[in-house]
Chains A and B, each alone.
Chain A
Amino acid sequence: MPNNPTHLPLIITGAAGWLGRALSSHVAHNADGLGVSQLIALVRDSEEQALLQSSLPKDNNLDLRILIGDVTNTPDIDRLFASSSGAFDLVHTAGIIHPKKIADLFAVNETATKNVMQRALHRGARRVVHISSNSPFGNNPHTQDTFRADEPFNPYLAYGASKMGGEIAVQESVSQGLNAVIVRPPWFYGPFQPARQTTFFSMVKSGKFPVFGDGAQRRSMVFIDNLVDGVCRARAWEGEPGRGWWIADTQAYRVSEIVETVGRALTDEGHTVKKNRLRLPHLLGQVAETADGFIQRTGRYVQQVHVLGEMNKTIACDISSATHDLGYVPAVSLYEGMRRSIRWCAQQGIEL
């Protein structure tokens, strides 16, 4: 593990989001070990503020400041950075994946990222970790291919294009002197998950998770705690700015294997799981992808169509650079991570 820096404030944008809450919670538990003197969290409204506070341990000694503001609003970003005097670190998790309209993707993932990076540069950030995605790189060309640490952009529809814009904004700021690195999680899961992930469990439980063809498509996945570990390691890494890493499990899984593992985890947590029988032809995935592209060109977004269009793709990535540079090794397996996720849902009173 790279050495943690001397104690500095840590700014987290999107702190009430899925990753933001998991990261904030981890920081609250381990502020001293992580070298965090103060957590400055940006949330959008009082509802998110309450959500974040409910995610943090009650008896923490964290010096916490929560700011209400929007990354798409420049004065809010200025206010965020003005809240810290001297050096600070930043983890930019704010992003949007399932928007009401397509323009929101670019406003948040590209333009706001550019503004955040520029202000971080001018306010003297010690280290910035930008959270990107697999989407700027699209899908693997075939089921056995694996994305290396450095790949050519091939954005998947509008979300991919907006996250690509975000990465380009980060690299431009790096070329101007910003000490920023990029973490790219693929499909992640675990505590603090939004409702759509609950649907995932429900579909597996009822035997209705859509598996395309023979289910040989491969997907990289990462448990949220593993992702948080990767983000913290990236923050502490002292190498060349501009580097990016996949943070995921060591191997990508066949979709059929994911469905089977989730089914096993559900069973072992006491749920009754029906045998998954929803096999769909590849053609349907292609139809959904085409429909998704058409809908997005009209500026609209339909989450179900988007997710269905992506489900017959292979998105597999190679984490060896993260292991080499950061010492990152995923500590929680898919099966164990899924069991913890199911238990978290139960603790929250979420019916699967």
Chain B
Amino acid sequence: MNSMQQIWDDANESKMSCEVLIIGSGAGGSPTAALLAEAGFDVLVVEEGRWVEQGTVAPFSLDQMEQQYRGGGVTVALGLPSIAYTEGRCAGGGTEVNSGLYRRPPTEVVERWRDRWDVRDLDPDELMKTATEVETDIHVTHLPGPASVPSQLLRQGADALGWKHDESPRWMTYPDGNPRHGQRQSMTRTYLPRAAKAGARILTQCRVNKINISHGKATYADISLANGQAGRISFKFVFVCGGAIQTPAILQRSGLRKNIGQTLAVHPTVKLSARFADAINVPDDVPVHQVKEFAPDLSFGGSASHAGLIALSLLDQWSDFKGAIEDWRNMAVYYAAITSEGRGRVMSVPGLVDPVVTYRLTARDRELLRSGLSRLSLLMLEAGATEVYPAFRGAPIVRGRKDLATLQKRFSANKASVMTVHLCSTVPLGENRDLCGAGSYGLVHETKNVYVNDASLLPDAPGVNPQASVMAIAVRNARHFIAQEKPHA
């Protein structure tokens, strides 16, 4: 165990037990662990990845992808086009590696979830109060000073077009007041230490293969430990919080399939690199400004932009674009994300470690991606870009407005490098049994003690960075569980 005593990765026991087993330590699992431990439950958190101290790997680096992402950051939802996605696989999950941008779910989105999926007692005002608490816990704040140049360029382009934009707050502290020296208040800095302090045990490098369920009641989980040894954890309750891909995969391996893994929702995203006359690149941070003129259908923002990622964004049309990489210090990567009508599937397949993931874009999605990439290109021209390199096969170099017509003519989603970092909705919550895999507070339908409490529960994609939605709903559900099982805690 490490200095916190409750956090360890070298379990020797093949048989363990706890009152509440929490599988996964990301934005859903960590607050669940903290609240339940503080309410007096005997909590054991198991995390498939390692505990990586912040500061030991460079943010947005290839090293980080290797250490803290599933599959080294190379995971794909199959389809036409295939959609690359990333999943954090480390203590703290995605909160350790994402952009750190925080957006409350829009009220109309919460109302849509409540009404269409019949989510009992999902009150937007109450959820926003919960969000306020979370914001205090993880120090959601705006920059203490000017944004980075790539972020300001996004704002300038939007201003020139009269398009709405704003600065997204982040869960960061700025100890010396320098906006470049932010320390992300991820789960390993906030809820996980809080859970450990309240007595929760946190076991890393422990993979859950299957939960054993009989007549709707789960009793133990089959696990694999860091040393390759198989084991078993007995529990009274289990919370599956492995994220929108791993959670349905675990449930499916455990024999639960109804409305599980069938409605994956993402924000499909296309990218471009913009080249400017001056050096603007910031390799270790992402812009905080987002353009919301066309929200919720379309959002524009900035991506991680170190030299390797700029090269990656030029790869689709490398024969024409490769000369630009020499000038990477003058370049940054930007994205256009859409809310998608399409849906995907997560299917665990016997013999495969990871599930097969598919996603299908609709005709509207494809047109929105085209429109998004061209509107973003226009914005970059207005921001002063001398050249824009859209990321799709056959793309032109955009130097002026006339080239935008060529971009739109040549674009096809099938030729684009479509990716996403926002994955959700594989076990939607609610009472509508035709649509939902879990009840209004995350109890998996047809089970007595199997809960889901992560991004899987969001009925559909919120159209904004989803972490705030995930955390607010996780806290809401954890409190409901405590009130049900330990009303005097």
Given A141-B368, A142-B364, A148-B161, A153-B294 contact (CB < 8 Å): no
Q: Which positions 171-228 of chain B face chain A at CB distance < 8 Å?
A: none
The reply to whether A142 and B368 form a contact with Cβ atoms under 8 Å apart is: yes
In the complex, which residues of chain B have a beta carbon less than 8 angstroms from the beta carbon of A145? Answer: 294, 297, 368, 371
Query: B residues within 8 Å of A by Cβ?
Result: 161-163, 293-294, 297, 364, 367-368, 370-371, 374-375, 377-378, 401-402, 404-405, 407-409
Q: SS class of chain A's interface: helix, strand, loop or mixed?
A: loop
A155 to B404, CA, bound (A): 10
Q: Is A321 touching B408 in the complex (CB atoms < 8 A)?
A: no
Given A141-B370, A145-B371, A321-B162, A152 contacting B401 (CB threshold 8 A): yes
Known: A138-B408, A142-B297. A152 touches B364 (CB 8 A): no
By DSSP majority rule, is chain B's interface helix, strand, loop, or mixed?
A: helix
Per the bound structure, the CA–CA distance linking A153 and B374 in Å amounts to 9
Docked-complex contact B404 and A153, CB < 8 angstroms:
yes
CB distance from A300 to the nearest CB of B (A): 21
Tell me if A154 is interfacial: C-beta within 8 Å of chain B: yes
User: Looking at A138, A149, A152, A155, which has the most chain B CB atoms within 10 Å of its CB?
Assistant: A152
Contact between chains at B371 and A150 (CB < 8 Å): no
Q: Is the CB of B378 within 8 A of A151?
A: yes
CB-defined A-B contacts under 8 Å, sample of 9: A138-B408, A141-B364, A141-B368, A148-B162, A150-B161, A152-B408, A153-B402, A154-B374, A155-B405
From A149, A150, A154, B408 is in contact (CB under 8 Å) with A154
* In the complex, residue of chain B having the shortest beta-carbon distance to the beta carbon of A171: B401
* A103 in contact (CB, < 8 A): no
5 additional contacts, CB 8 Å, given A140-B371, A152-B408, A153-B404?
A142-B368, A145-B294, A150-B378, A154-B404, A154-B405
Contact partner of A142 (CB less than 8 A), chosen from B367, B374, B402, B408, is B367
- If A142-B367, A154-B374 touch, whether A149 touches B405 (CB-CB below 8 Å) is no
The distance in angstroms between the C-alpha atoms of A154 and B403, with both chains bound, is 10
What is the bound-complex CA distance between A321 and B162, given in angstroms?
9
**A3: which B residues are within 8 A, CB to CB?**
none
A321 CA / B293 CA spacing, docked (Å): 14
Determine whether the beta carbon of A148 is less than 8 Å from that of B163. yes
In the bound complex, CA of A147 to CA of B348 (Å)? 43
> Which residues on the A side are within 8 Å of B404 (C-beta)?
152-154
Decide: B162 and A153 in contact? CB cutoff 8 A.
no
Nearest residue (CB) in B for A286 is: B363
Q: By the criterion CB–CB under 8 Å, are A152 and B368 in contact?
A: no
In the complex, A144→B407 CA distance in Å?
23
A9 to chain B, nearest CB (A): 32
A164 touches B405 (CB 8 A): yes
**Distance of A27 Cα from B436 Cα, bound (Å):** 64
Q: Smallest CB-CB separation from A165: which chain B residue?
A: B402
Bound CA–CA A150/B159 (angstroms): 12
The complex places the Cα of A109 from the Cα of B116 at a distance, in Å, of 50
Is A350 interfacial (CB 8 A cutoff)? Answer: no
Closest 8 CB pairs of A and B: A152-B404, A141-B367, A141-B371, A153-B405, A152-B374, A154-B408, A152-B378, A142-B364
Question: How many whole Å from A35's CB to the nearest CB in chain B?
Answer: 29
Complex Cα gap A145–B370 (Å) = 13
Q: Is the CB of A150 within 8 A of B162?
A: yes
Distance between B363 CB and nearest chain A CB, rounded to angstroms: 9
> Within the complex, which residue of A144, A150, A155, A171 is in contact with B297, where a contact is CB–CB below 8 Å?
A144
A33 to chain B, nearest CB (A): 31
Rounded to whole Å, the gap between the CB of B405 and the closest CB of chain A is 4
Instruction: Give the residues from 117 to 159 in chain A that come closer than 8 angstroms, CB to CB, to chain B.
Output: 138, 140-142, 144-145, 148-155
CA distance A196 to B375 in the complex (A): 34
Query: Taking the nearest CB of chain B, how far is it from the CB of A172, in angstroms?
Result: 10
Contacts of A164 in B (CB 8 A): 402, 405
A153-B408 contact given A145-B294, A145-B371, A148-B163, CB 8 Å threshold: yes
> Inside 8 A of A152's CB, which chain B residues have their CB?
374-375, 377-378, 401, 404-405, 407-408
- List residues of chain A with CB within 8 A of the CB of B378: 150-152
What B residues does A144 contact at CB under 8 A? Answer: 297
Q: Which residues of the partner chain A approach B364 to less than 8 Å between Cβ atoms?
A: 141-142
Per-residue 0/1 for A50-93: is the Cβ within 8 Å of any B Cβ (1 yes, 0 no)? 00000000000000000000000000000000000000000000
Task: Tell me, in angstroms, the Cα distance from A321 to B161 when the chains sit together.
Answer: 11
Q: Which residues of B contact A171 (CB under 8 A)?
A: 401
A307 lies within 8 A of chain B by Cβ: no
Chain A residues positioned under 8 Å from B409 (CB to CB): 154
CB distance from A75 to the nearest CB of B (A): 29
| Closest A residue, CB atoms, query B377 | A152
Q: Could you tell me the distance in whole angstroms from the C-beta of B477 to the nearest C-beta in chain A?
A: 32
Cβ–Cβ < 8 Å partners of B163 in chain A: 148
Known interface pairs A142-B364, A154-B374. Does A148 touch B293 (Cβ–Cβ under 8 Å)?
Answer: yes
A346 on interface, CB distance cutoff 8 Å: no
Of chain B, the residue at the smallest CB distance from A168 is B402
Establish whether residues A149 and B402, one from each chain, have CB atoms under 8 Å apart when the complex forms: no
A150: which B residues are within 8 A, CB to CB?
Answer: 161-162, 378
Query: Which residue of the partner chain A has the closest CB to B367?
Result: A141
Chain A residues in 8 Å Cβ range of B367: 141-142
Which residues of A23-57 are within 8 A (CB) of B? none
Residues of B within 8 A of A141 (CB): 364, 367-368, 370-371
CB distance from A331 to the nearest CB of B (A): 25
Knowing A138-B408, A141-B371, A145-B297 touch, does A153 contact B401 (C-beta < 8 A)? Answer: yes
- CB < 8 Å: which of B162, B370, B375, B377 contacts A149? B162
Q: How far in angstroms is the closest Cβ of chain A from B275? A: 18
Q: Which residues of A contact B368 (CB under 8 A)?
A: 141-142, 145
* A148 CB contacts on chain B under 8 angstroms: 161-163, 293
Q: Is the CB of A151 within 8 A of B375?
A: yes
A195, B121: Cα distance in complex, Å? 60
- B393 to chain A minimum Cβ distance, whole angstroms, is 19
Residues of chain A within 8 A of B370, CB atoms compared: 141
